[in-house]
Amino acid sequence: MNKTELEESLVEGFRRAVTSVTEETEKALREAKDREEKEGANVQLEAILENVDVGKNEKRPICQDTGTQTFFVEVGEDFKELGLLKQAINGSVKKATERIPLRPNAIDPISDENSGDNTGRFIPSIHWDIVEGDQAIIHIIPKGGGSENMSKLEMMTPGRGLKGVKEIVLDQIADMAGKPCPPTTVGVGLGGGADLAMELAKKALLRPVGERHSEKRIAELEEELLEKANELGVGPMGVGGKTTVLDVKIEYAHRHPASFPVAVLPQCWANRQAKLKVTPEGDVEVLR
Amino acid sequence: MNIFETPIDHERVKELRIGDAFYITGTIFTARDAAHEKLLEIEDEDVPFDPSKYAMFHCGPAIHKEEGEWKVVSAGPTTSIRMEIFEDDFIERFGTKVIIGKGGMGERTLKALEKHGAVYCQYTGGAGALMANAIKEVEDVYFLEELGIPEAFWMFRVEEAGPFLVTMDSAGNSIHDDVAQEVSKNLERVKSQL
């Protein structure tokens, strides 16, 4: 396995993630355009769709905020080159920053200094999962600041139950209004501890827009929240309309008897991401 | 297509109402928090351009130098409410009539728009590639060394940049306020049906 080649493939993954939206997201945006009747909502959606075309055709970052570079890696237990994979991920962030280019978005919280290359302490943010097999699946999420700022964690009183969960999610979607650049895809993390709930909310965003959770009871909860959220009337970019969210994604963990963490983490309309597969030989295949 | 050329015709701006959409051909300047603060603290003779002639854009562009020339990579709007603490003073002192950003602004700005016949427009958040395409030239940049790339005043020559949707007008209307009221009502209804 060659580190430089792996880095180059990851840079291309970044290019894909910041210059285009996934097929499923684009489809959902086009459907939203067909559904909206109000002039203001249509002006926003037309600009969004035109912007998507420009990004794709000119290989130009669709948004100037190219995000915090975030990775979710599912690595097979028999994958041999873990250290090299980690080095390549870090290296690819620096290369992508220079070449695509990405906006330097990594700032030391104490000194306010910008590192200039999107790397720093614990950044890029890499979440590792060990799975069966001998290959690695890498999800790249360039996560924008505007949507991340609208995240919320509530340590809910368990007695409020699922009704409480629904209220918290809908309150937050109403509260954040146009700020996270709707129509958003909203990640929801239930259970675990505070940290795990937030991580699951972000991880839930990895599933394609429109795809329901594999468990029926969670799928139904997603559908209910999707439908109710779109009755709120926030609309594209908060100017009013029928499309406030493109999807709601839920992930959960078992919880402590005394705790019921509810995490809400929105992703802007672009829902930027890429998914790559690294074979045991180091060949890279773009999956999404 | 409703196009404004620069210098901006102040009389035409007064006629704009919420829900109107238009485009700009001419010059727009960027200004974020630090830029507002900077211009408000210096003397008139040190202000390097006339902010009343052009549209102001809340934006910190992704921009880089290619063979010695600035090239805009992507330039969407930033969240405008951060500028709320400066905007009424800025409009009062510099006479800017068209303000472009995202997410809307507050009561103080709305009052200033009314008093000075100005508008606030929403440009679609995240539509940075579309805007970059409309920017034909970086005409100038001010206070770059002091403020850094995202915060500096960038003067962009644009052609048919937009669409800009008027969401706050000089008659005291705000789509953001209207939608907030509507959403609040809807939220209560939806929650009562859970």
Enter the ipTM.
0.93
Question: For chain B, what's the residue count?
Answer: 194
In terms of DSSP bridges, do strands A260-267 and A184-192 run parallel, antiparallel, or are they unpaired? Answer: antiparallel
List B36, B58, B116, B176, catalytic entry: B36
Please report where in the chains the tokens 């499309």 appear, as a residue: A243
Q: Is B17 on the interface with A (CB under 8 A)?
A: no
Nearest to A202 by CA among A244, A251, A169: A251
pLDDT tens, A210-228? Answer: 999 999 999 999 999 999 9
| Domain range annotation of chain A | 3-16+62-144+272-286, 146-267
Q: Quick check: A76 and A134 in contact, CB under 8 A? A: yes
Identify whether B58 is a catalytic site residue: no
Interior/surface letters B72-103, b for 16+ CB within 10 angstroms, e for the rest: bbbbbbbbbbbbeebbbebbeebbbbbbbbbb
Tokens of A14: 């970044």
Read off the amino acid at residue A111: S
Whether the per-residue pLDDT at A147 is higher than 90: the answer is yes
Give the mean pLDDT of A25-32: 97
Q: Which residue of B has its CA nearest to A270?
A: B126
Q: Which residue of A has its CA nearest to B72?
A: A64
Q: Which residue of B has its CA nearest to A19?
A: B129
Whether the per-residue pLDDT at B149 is higher than 90: the answer is no
CB count within 10 Å of CB A194 equals 14
Read off the amino acid at residue A221: L
Residues of B in contact with A41 (CB under 8 A): none
User: Residue A94 — pLDDT band, cuts 50, 70, 90?
Assistant: very high
Residues of A in contact with B59 (CB under 8 A): 64
Give the mean pLDDT of A60-74: 95
Read off the amino acid at residue B120: Y
Q: What percent of chain A has pLDDT over 70?
A: 100
Report helix angle B84-94 to B107-116, nearest 10: 10
Predicted confidence at residue B150, as pLDDT, reads: 85
pLDDT tens, B98-111? Answer: 999 999 999 999 99
pTM: 0.93
By three-state DSSP, how is residue A48 classified? helix
Predicted confidence at residue A1, as pLDDT, reads: 80
| Domain range annotation of chain B | 3-192
DSSP state of B103: S
Half-sphere exposure of A95 (CA within 13 A, CB side): 19
What is the largest distance, in Å, between two alpha-carbon atoms of chain A? 55
Q: Quick check: B30 and B150 in contact, CB under 8 A? A: no
Whether the per-residue pLDDT at A205 is higher than 90: the answer is yes
Half-sphere exposure of B15 (CA within 13 A, CB side): 8
Report helix angle B175-192 to A161-176, nearest 10: 170
What are the residues facing B25 on neighbouring strands?
Answer: B5
pLDDT tens, B111-135? Answer: 999 999 999 999 999 999 999 999 9
User: Residue A30 — pLDDT band, cuts 50, 70, 90?
Assistant: very high
Whether the per-residue pLDDT at A8 is higher than 90: the answer is yes
> CA of A271 to nearest chain B CA: how many angstroms apart?
11
Determine the residue among B183, B185, B189 to mutate to test chain A binding: the one whose Cβ has the most chain A Cβ atoms within 10 Å. B183
Predicted confidence at residue A177, as pLDDT, reads: 93
> CA of A66 to nearest chain B CA: how many angstroms apart?
9
Whether the per-residue pLDDT at B1 is higher than 90: the answer is no
Inter-chain CB proximity A167 and B194 less than 8 Å: yes
Q: Which residue of A has its CA nearest to B185?
A: A232
Round to whole Å and give the CA distance between B89 and B37: 10
Tokens of A109: 């919280």
Round to whole Å and give the CA distance between B179 and B47: 37
pLDDT tens, A153-190? Answer: 999 999 999 999 999 999 999 999 999 999 999 999 99
Residue A254: partners with Cβ closer than 8 Å, 6 or more residues away: A191, A192
Q: Is B174 on the interface with A (CB under 8 A)?
A: no
* CATH for B3-192 (3.20.130.10, 2.60.120.10, 3.30.70.20, 3.40.50.2300): 3.20.130.10
Give the mean pLDDT of B173-188: 97
Predicted confidence at residue A251, as pLDDT, reads: 98
Whether the per-residue pLDDT at A234 is higher than 90: the answer is yes
Nearest to A96 by CA among A142, A127, A136: A142
> CA of B10 to nearest chain A CA: how many angstroms apart?
23
